[in-house]
Structure 1
């Protein structure tokens, strides 16, 4: 339950519902009909994403990075809340949605046997009517036996959570600069060989089972990257 509340708090921060600070623990307990312990665990998860700063005796304030930058990719939000690393209200244009068997290269990237059955989703994503990214994602059918067209057009992660109770427990992420292949350039109507930021991710659910692999190329102008770290020795 606390993970659901944490996701709602993150959405509230991103949507401007909480602009300066979070409500008090007592107010959040009333809002979400939850115990103090549940609320505290939810707040801790949001804090780990770098969206809050703790002020002794005053509560939790929204971090300035969240307020000042509207084109932030919050890499700290990888894992527990995969959708929350992107800006809210992205619009998807699905280019490919089918089932394939993994070839040698894809099997190696995912660490799965060759010819594993996968859902393949290739989509362009737009923010404020401008191209935000190209996303190629591959979901193991052994873990996700059914993926709906509606989910692919809206939020795959919401569907996985509601249909299968699947969430991302942790992820391996690799950031790099990539030169657009001829295929990717054609899909985005950009220049072949142009350089953009790419994120390759393997997402894992509980017990470290692989859920999916994705390759995302970000092309939105003035995009900022944010990553929050916590010094555990000082906690």
Structure 2
């Protein structure tokens, strides 16, 4: 385990233990505490942030997300984390069904702000939590943002790869949670009944100054799943 991962685990455990009830210490304080460089601390904070335990407030720092522990798995719509687990030993694993390039149709072209027939990476994978089926994920990435996507990343964490390879961080996202009925093809892949009603999450992620990175739809069948969101005060202009 790398130094920044060790620090990330320690910070996450400190949050769970209530040591940081509201706000993470400053970057300078963490550098002093862990005797680590600035880049190492920033990478550690980013890992904790992407796990869903923190939210970023511009100009103020990182604050703790107080998510109710009513579910074993929580998807954090505030931080766009794939899944935030209350137990750090819970990890998603993947079984890749399809990994290829396709031409964008009209709907994908509109969602990703690319021209029709632009090449996209397509990733279709089953995701598991503790060997139980968690979801079917169908994702598309623009080649403008991601010129190369590795097989190893697709089998593990795509967003960690994008951060390390291209320094890409998600700056914003659009999320639509809806009910969907599984098609025959989806049901066959998931080994579920055709027409079963499941929760679906349509998500478009953006990076930089609002540039589309990827579009995905995930179909969830995990029996103990929660979605977390948080509203913020709207300041009149």
Judge same fold: TM > 0.5, yes or no.
Answer: yes
TM tier relative to shorter chain: 0.7 to 0.9
In structure 2, the CA distance between the partners of 1:11 and 1:205, relative to structure 1 (3 Å rule), is farther
- 2:146 — aligned with what? 144
Query: Quick one: distance in 2 between partners of 1:212 and 1:61?
Result: 27
Q: Normalization by structure 2: what TM-score?
A: 0.75
- 1:18 — aligned with what? 15
Q: Normalization by structure 1: what TM-score?
A: 0.75
1:91-170 superposed matches below 5 A: 91-170=93-172
Query: Quick one: distance in 2 between partners of 1:187 and 1:11?
Result: 38
Instruction: For structure 2, list consecutive stretches of 5 or more residues without a partner in the other structure.
Output: 56-62
Is the CA contact 2:53–2:65 (under 8 Å) kept in the aligned structure 1? Answer: no
Aligned length: 206
- 1:180 — aligned with what? 182
Is the CA contact 2:71–2:224 (under 8 Å) kept in the aligned structure 1? Answer: no
Instruction: For structure 1, list consecutive stretches of 5 or more residues without a partner in the other structure.
Output: 53-59
- Backbone CA RMSD of aligned residues: 3.1
Higher helix content, 1 or 2: 1
- 2:73 — aligned with what? 71
In structure 2, the CA distance between the partners of 1:32 and 1:51, relative to structure 1 (3 Å rule), is same
Query: Quick one: distance in 1 between partners of 2:67 and 2:84?
Result: 17
Query: Quick one: distance in 2 between partners of 1:62 and 1:208?
Result: 24
Query: Quick one: distance in 2 between partners of 1:86 and 1:11?
Result: 16
In structure 2, the CA distance between the partners of 1:12 and 1:218, relative to structure 1 (3 Å rule), is farther
Query: Quick one: distance in 2 between partners of 1:34 and 1:146?
Result: 29
Q: CA deviation at 1:75?
A: 1.3
Q: Any idea what the Cα deviations from partners look like across 1:167-221, whole Å, max 9, x if unmatched?
A: 1111111111111111111110101111111111111110211111111111100
Is the CA contact 2:95–2:155 (under 8 Å) kept in the aligned structure 1? Answer: yes
Q: CA deviation at 1:29?
A: 3.5
Query: Quick one: distance in 2 between partners of 1:101 and 1:153?
Result: 22
